Homo-oligomer: A and B are copies of this chain.
Amino acid sequence: MKPSIPKGTRDFGPIEMARRNYIFSTIRSVFALYGYSQIETPAMENLSTLMGKYGEEGDKLLFKILNSGDFMKSVDPAMLENPDSLRITSKISEKGLRYDLTVPFARFVVQHRNELQMPFKRFQIQPVWRADRPQKGRYREFYQCDADVVGSDSLINEIELIQLVDEVFRRLRINIAIKLNNRKVLSGIAELIGAPEKLTDITVAIDKIDKIGIEKVNDELRERGLSEEAVSRIQPILEISGSTDERLSRLEEVLSGSEIGQLGIKELREVIDGVTSLGLNAVLELDVSLARGLNYYTGTIIEVKALDVAIGSITGGGRYDNLTGVFGMPGLSGVGISFGADRIYDVLNALDLYPAEAAFSTQVMFVNFGDAEAMASMKMLKEMRLAGIKGEIFPDKAKMKKQMGRADALGIPFVAIIGESEMAEGKLTLKNMATGEQSLLTPAEAVEAIKACVKQ
């Protein structure tokens, strides 16, 4: 009888919302500070837009919307003799829920190409849906917060994005390391060992080095068909040590035979020099094993790790050269970053880093002693709200204990009491719930008292 919600989805109550809004509004403010403007796309996209963009596995994880009306009439009766769900899906469903913000963004850019000013800098904060098996920290509905700039090859975009990431986490007070790599270095490595066609296998395997260690990565490289010689040539690269400068120089030597590898190192140097010279709050780490799984990236790769909590990457991104090619608009380069709101939420919870503003926001509750007192209270409350105070009045003439209990339970810091004597004087008794202190004040004085307390 008790109603429930679909597995893998969540309700967010007032406290969770206040905390999530704090994260989103921090990210949103920094996006705006860096000149990104917001767009929104529909929750539903045509399946023709979504299918084939996330691999075969991704196609299965799309939530598909049943066509309206008599959808069965589009299914050939012959198809029903031996019903195949996959084939029937294409007959009874035309739309799906968005799986990420990247494909809808690419679709948006192509559809609105004539209205956009290039380079186009957009951010987007919206939920996405995936029919994944739910587990701890993995949901079927979750928010993504993406910023991308398309239509410019300049590495200034990378430098700006890294600064943006640094500023977001500085404001959230989360200590981070920003890991950096370049896909062209990975291509250089594949070229060096004479297996450029194995680039995907190599990156997928070495991406796991942090999780499974160098030995298991080697096993996986062998399983993926690399020769013993090739595996051994990868080793020194994965083990290069020293300062960032030393490692870049060493890498430059090792990859001296690869043009694309050299280009990757040049790009890394330029980004690192730029960011370093501008100054960074975060630790910046060159990580040659960083690949972020996706084949999608063609240049800079960025990943953010929280330093004080053991959790996967909390933000990631990189440069891609062909975002919109699949929609018939080739050659558009871009670079983007995606903040993992749910993991950032977990980190803030683990470290208890929420500021006072990320809590229930009502500042004062007026107690209700009866009709006349309530009317006098509402008049004062109106005046205080006009001065920016967030307040409410207990709507019913309940027992004092019950009314105070509400303020207590909700963490409302002040209670305003208006009885006969207060009414006669046009004043209110303001009670500070933390200290118990009470003062008889005019509404204007109460506004000042509440504002002064918030500032502390």
A122 with B14, Cβ < 8 A, contacts A66-B92, A274-B375, A393-B160 known: yes
- Report the contact-size class of chain A (Cβ under 8 Å from the partner): 35 or more
A3 touches B378 (CB 8 A): no
A112 touches B13 (CB 8 A): yes
Residue A135 lies at the interface, judged by CB distance under 8 Å to chain B: no
Residue A426 lies at the interface, judged by CB distance under 8 Å to chain B: no
Interface residues in A326-377 by Cβ distance below 8 A to B read 327-328, 360-362, 365, 368, 374-375
**Chain A 71-114 interface mask (CB, 8 Å, partner B; 1/0):** 11101000010011100110011110100000000011011100
A40 with B17, Cβ < 8 A, contacts A160-B393, A328-B1 known: yes
By CB atoms of chain B within 10 A, which of A33, A97, A410 has the most? A33
Residue A173 lies at the interface, judged by CB distance under 8 Å to chain B: no
Measured in the bound complex, the distance between the Cα atoms of B390 and A146 in whole Å is: 18
A378 touches B274 (CB 8 A): yes
Residue A70 lies at the interface, judged by CB distance under 8 Å to chain B: yes
Residue A52 lies at the interface, judged by CB distance under 8 Å to chain B: no
Measured in the bound complex, the distance between the Cα atoms of B95 and A423 in whole Å is: 54
Measured in the bound complex, the distance between the Cα atoms of B33 and A388 in whole Å is: 7
| Interface segment out of the listed A57-65, A174-182, A292-300 | A57-65
Measured in the bound complex, the distance between the Cα atoms of B152 and A374 in whole Å is: 15
B42 touches A43 (CB 8 A): no
A129 touches B274 (CB 8 A): no
A395 touches B157 (CB 8 A): yes
Please, which residues of chain B bring their CB within 8 A of the CB of A436?
A: none
A327 touches B37 (CB 8 A): no
Q: 5 shortest A-B CB distances, which residue pairs?
A: A35-B392, A9-B42, A14-B37, A154-B395, A72-B83
Measured in the bound complex, the distance between the Cα atoms of B88 and A390 in whole Å is: 51
Please, which residues of chain B bring their CB within 8 A of the CB of A117?
A: 406, 409-410
Min CB gap A413→B, angstroms = 13
Residue A6 lies at the interface, judged by CB distance under 8 Å to chain B: yes
